[in-house]
Amino acid sequence: MVGRGAAVTFGFVSAAVAVYTASLVLPDYFQPSAVKPRSPIVIGHRGGMNDLPEHTLAAYELGMREGADFIEPDIAMTKDGQLVAVHDIELSSTTNVANVSEFTPRRKTLYVPGVGNMTGFFVMDFTLAELKSLRLHQRSEGRGTFFDDAYTIPTFSEVVDAVKRGRQSNGRKIGLYPEMKHAHFYTEMHEGKVDGQARLSYDFVSEFISFVNSCGIEREWLFIQCFDRSVLMRIATNTSYPLVQLVAGENSPMADSNELFGPLLLTAAGRTSLKQYAAGVGVAKSYLLLPSSGVLSPSRREQFGSGVEWMEDLKNAGLVVHAWTFGRDERELWNAYARQVDGVFADFVTVAVGVRFSFRLFVSGLPLSMTGGGLALASVGGALIVLFVIAIQCVFVRADRSRK
């Protein structure tokens, strides 16, 4: 006869076996590698921007706590040559600058390549001290506004320090993924070629590279991204950090500036050029969809071929493919992970991390899946072992009850 104590003891043993089996079957996907990031990475787009104003130290810290492998600051430069993290070179959409009377005379209209005419208040017309006097607010509708006007614009140096603190407080490596914002336009301003704008004393690109090269972040944990092809080609020999060529969506105004931003970079000729200076591409998520979906126009489909073709070509050449920007739609994230992208830019970090985990669990249990037949068979075997020990436990418990 089997006693209750024996049944309970066997239950604990069964649970231990199940946990041990699961640990053999399912890799620990929550903990990133201590050596380099584990693909696909989740990039906290402008930090944890759902609940907090974007590009604030608090938003970056929240994104790291939510599980982002990298955080993504947009970097611009002030009038006095200081690098700062801001959404764009125009300040109205994210700050209270329009309500500060002393700054009213600085409102102007400039033509910005890839965007067109922009009217408002521009970062390069303000010193760092003046920018620090402004307050940030939520830019996107439908997101939390409770913390509006609570934070100021951070410097790039402050962002780097926040990442280093985040590594300590979260007990894991976290990377940095800065974007050089309108870098070609800054170069033109430095050269005195922009109508209506005084010549800038500082060269944004040089200041950016000088700072990044001395920031102390490991090479595997920092990507430099930019839409401006000419700028990336310029700096390719000036830094050891990997460069990511951003590619604008087909319907973006940037798509008209093919030399700097355009989707023609994904054609066969464009890819040949990319391989000379870039370590990867950051593409609009629409390029991950199959051409038959109708998202791309017939002419674009003919240029690109299938999404698989351009992606496989770049991956075979050793380039990474990151896609932007994902919101709450889990189907889009599943599609991206299924297409085997190397990373996603996410507005909602917890959603992207959760879908990634679910997708990996799903894939690990598919026979002959992309993770390899061995892992799939191990998953099936592990599941059978767990079911077996549960069944044996039920037999012991039933025998114990029948004895009564």
- The verdict on whether 190 is a catalytic residue reads no
Asked, as a colleague might, if the bond just before 40 is cis with ω within 30 of 0, I would say yes
Instruction: Please give the structure tokens belonging to residue 296.
Output: 């791309």
Contact 48, 174 (CB under 8 A): no
- The verdict on whether 55 is a catalytic residue reads no
Q: What is the pLDDT of residue 50?
A: 67
Contact 322, 288 (CB under 8 A): no
Q: What is the pLDDT of residue 310?
A: 84
Contact 77, 67 (CB under 8 A): no
Q: What is the pLDDT of residue 292?
A: 40
Contact 278, 243 (CB under 8 A): yes
**Marked catalytic residue, from 55, 87, 184, 322:** 87
Segments in 68-107 forming alpha helices (H): none
**Marked catalytic residue, from 45, 55, 184, 190:** 45
Q: What is the pLDDT of residue 345?
A: 97
What beta strand segments (E) does 53-115 contain?
70-72, 74-77, 83-85, 108-112
Confidence band for 269, pLDDT divided at 50, 70 and 90: confident
The lowest-confidence range among 226-240, 285-299, 312-326, 381-395 is: 381-395
Q: How far apart are CA 385 and CA 21, in angstroms?
A: 8
Q: How far apart are CA 23 and CA 110, in angstroms?
A: 58
Q: What is the pLDDT of residue 361?
A: 86
Instruction: Please give the structure tokens belonging to residue 101.
Output: 């009377």
Residue found under tokens 């704008």: 197
pLDDT in tens, 331-350: 999 989 988 899 999 999 99
Angle between helices 183-190 and 204-213 (to 10 degrees): 120
Q: What is the mean pLDDT of residues 257-272?
A: 71
Segments in 347-404 forming alpha helices (H): 349-364, 373-403
Q: Is the pLDDT of residue 302 over 90?
A: no
Three-state secondary-structure class, residue 154: coil
Q: What is the pLDDT of residue 214?
A: 97
Instruction: Please give the structure tokens belonging to residue 229.
Output: 């092809």
CA distances from 233 to 215, 260, 361 (A): 21, 11, 40
Instruction: Please give the structure tokens belonging to residue 302.
Output: 């003919």
Q: How far apart are CA 99 and CA 372, in angstroms?
A: 58
Contact 321, 314 (CB under 8 A): yes
Q: What is the mean pLDDT of residues 266-291?
A: 86
pTM for this prediction: 0.79
Segments in 305-348 forming alpha helices (H): 307-316, 330-338
Rounded-to-5 percentages of helix, strand, coil across the chain: 45, 15, 40
Q: How far from the centroid of its chain's Cα atoms is residue 100's Cα?
A: 33
Q: How far apart are CA 70 and CA 81, in angstroms?
A: 26
Q: What is the mean pLDDT of residues 165-189?
A: 95
Q: What is the pLDDT of residue 254?
A: 57
Q: What is the pLDDT of residue 300?
A: 52
Between the two ends of the chain, the Cα-to-Cα distance in Å is: 11
Q: How far apart are CA 92 and CA 235, in angstroms?
A: 31
CA-based nearest residue to 24, from 321, 315, 386, 282: 386
CA-based nearest residue to 136, from 84, 92, 73, 202: 92
